Structure 1
Amino acid sequence: MSDFTNTSEYEEQFDPRLYLETYFHLGSGSLADDFIRFVLENFNKTFKSGAVKGSTLIDIGTAPSIYQLLSACENFDDITVTWHTNRELRELQKWLKNEPDAFDWSSIVKHVCEIEGNSASQKEKEEKLRGKIKQVLMCDVSKCNPLAPHEAPKADCLVTTVCLEAACKSYESYGTALKNLSNLIKPKGHLLMAGDLGANYYEVGSNKVFSLPVNEKFLKNVISESGYEIIQLVAFGKPEDAAFDTSDYEGFYFVHAQKK
């Protein structure tokens, strides 16, 4: 078995539109409600603090989601978004082109505007992010240059959410991916990561999509061993009254690290 998820297998199992409809209507009662609020709050705090800023940001594994960039667009003017499968790319392009059948992000954009204390409308916020996105590139975290054959300038900040756990089949390949991602970041540049703790899978329709189960101890070790200094690692445990059966997750994490 490959140490990295097979692209064609993943594309067969992962329907990006069904994934969005299942998990990204804030307030619908899915397990992602807790995850989205947790992640958006931490992104907002991190960017608002002024500790993470610059001109260039790369998001790894963007497609088909944009929630992780809604606060980032307040601090960065040159954002590169990435995709790994064609189905994900098509879903992302619908939103980028503001097509009528694009996924409706309004519930999440509204929440971000509220926690930011932003007077902008939801439409203005989405247009601001669209205007900051300068490139849409293919990514493969198994490669030394994950954006190959494109040679992108080193970024001030790299963001990745719910990506490496899906892409990496082993803990060794997770470390390899983190080292590969460091090749895209400037010295002293920032790495922001978020994802699930302890999850072996999450369901998209009738398919159980693979997830590498990680915990806080593993994250601390692998991030430090991959050439980063951890600034902050925040964990949120699964609520005791949670009754979700679409994943066996145990909680969520958010990491702010800096390349050494």
Structure 2
Amino acid sequence: MMDSSPHKLYHVHGFDSRQCLENYFSNKADVVFGDDTLKFVIENLIQVFAVGHIKGDILVDLSLSSIVHHLYSACEFFKNIIILKVNNRCIMELKRWVDERTGAFYWGHTSKHLQEKEENSDQFQDQEAKLRSAIQHIVKYDLEKENMTEPLVLPPADCVISAWLLDVISKDQDDYIRYLRKFSRLLKPGGHIILIGSLGTTYFTVGKDKFHALTYDEEFVRKVLVGEGFIIDYCNVKERTVVNDLIDYKAVINIAAHKEK
């Protein structure tokens, strides 16, 4: 199926990662998506990791822009986090935060929310520092290569986490399946995958540009995961409650699954 959308593609056209963070993930008063993009995600991942099944040596993250808040809980359960980014601007923005450089994006509002939700909040007082130390590599990848990180060969991961990336790189449902299959090849036998996405979306706006987003529903994600040999362990969907023209999603989904050995 050919893509007929007039909107830009995240991984093909220029993408301003900082503006994306400001629009959808900041603590500014006019950012209305916080309950969905920040709080809902953090609270769900606390639950997912608290069960204790998802842990190990290596977690690979493939996510939108330069977000980090979805990795706070993960850094308690994995020794090494490898982050893959599709363009240099996302890499530069993320490294600015990891290296604590002047002008780095402020994520303090998200670590504070994590502390408020954790029963043993004292151990999370320096969560950003823990996450920085757990991030071992930030690597550029090419979606169309058989080995996305060529010439680097990544060690098999215990878990892959992907937040909103499949939504924006998939021109159609076949693309979604193809890229999910490629992501799942990064896993060890029996490894886990965690997907965060927006349901019913057709576009999202960054600056003056509208970008393509794949429209899909919960049933589609479940069918794809099962079809790729995953067993679903957790799923939660939050309906959208705010109106804003920047993006037209209907709900946010958090879903976790493990690969059959």
Q: CA deviation at 1:194?
A: 0.4
Contact 2:64–2:164 (Cα < 8 Å) also in 1: no
Partner of 1:39: 41
Secondary structure of residue in 2 paired with 1:119: helix
The equivalent position to 2:58 in structure 1, one of 39, 56, 59, is: 56
1:119 pairs, out of 118, 122, 126, with 122
Name the structure 1 match of 2:17.
16
Aligned partner of 1:25 in structure 2 is 26
User: Is the contact made by 1:165 and 1:211 (CA closer than 8 Å) also made in structure 2?
Assistant: yes
Would you say the 8 A contact 1:53–1:76 is kept in 2?
yes
Q: 1:156 aligns with which of 155, 158, 164?
A: 158
TM norm structure 1: 0.91
Give 5+ residue unaligned stretches, structure 1.
none
| Structure 2 contact 197–252 (Cα < 8 Å) conserved | yes
Q: How large is the RMSD of aligned CA atoms in angstroms?
A: 2.0
CA distance in 2, matches of 1:229, 1:174: 18
Question: Which residue of 2 is the match for residue 88 of structure 1?
Answer: 90
Mapped partners of 2:178, 2:253: distance in 1: 20
**Using the alignment, how far apart are the partners of 1:246 and 1:86 within structure 2?**
24
Separation in structure 2 between the aligned mates of residue 233 and residue 82 of structure 1, nearest angstrom:
24
Counterparts of residues 179-194 of structure 1 (less than 5 Å):
179-194=181-196
Q: Is the 8 A contact 1:73 1:128 kept in 2?
A: yes
CA 1:31–1:226 in structure 2 vs 1: closer, same or farther (change >3 Å)? farther
Structure 2: runs of 5 or more not aligned: none
Q: Which residue of 1 aligns with 2:254?
A: 254
Match among 212, 215, 227 for residue 213 of structure 1: 215
| Match status 1:78 vs 2:80 | yes
> Is it true that 1:244 corresponds to 2:244 in the alignment?
yes
Report the alpha carbon displacement of residue 205 of structure 1 after superposing the two structures with TM.
1.8
Displacement of 1:139 in angstroms is 2.5
Q: Distance in 1 between matches of 2:131 and 2:28?
A: 23
How far 1:121 moved relative to its partner?
Answer: 6.3
Which structure 1 residue ranges, 4+ long, deviate > 6 Å from structure 2? none
Give distance in 2, aligned partners of 1:171 and 1:187.
25
More deviation, 224-233/159-168? 224-233
Deviations 1:63-102 (A, max 9, x none): 4111111110111111101111111111011001100110
Provide Cα deviations, 1:104-133, integer angstroms capped at 9, x if missing partner.
Answer: 1111111112212321465x2111111111
| Range moving further from structure 2, 191-200 or 146-155 | 146-155
Percent identity for Structure 1 against Structure 2: 31
**CA–CA distance in structure 1, aligned partners of residues 3 and 204 of structure 2:** 20
TM-score, normalised relative to structure 2: 0.91
Amino acid at match of 2:196: A
Deviation at 1:154, TM superposition (A): 0.7
* Residue 176 to residue 121, structure 1, CA distance change in 2 (3 Å): closer
Offset from partner CA, 1:232-253 (integer Å, 9 cap, x none) = 22111122xx222211110010
Structure 2 counterpart SS, 1:77: strand
Number of corresponding residues: 254
**How far apart are the structure 2 equivalents of 1:232 and 1:6?**
28
Native 8 Å contact 2:196 2:253 kept in 1: yes
Counterpart Cα distance in 1 of 2:255 and 2:144: 21
Paired AA for residue 116 in structure 2: E
- Contact map agreement 2:239 2:252 (CA 8 A) in 1: yes
Secondary structure of the residue aligned to 2:42 is helix
Shift of 1:257: 0.7
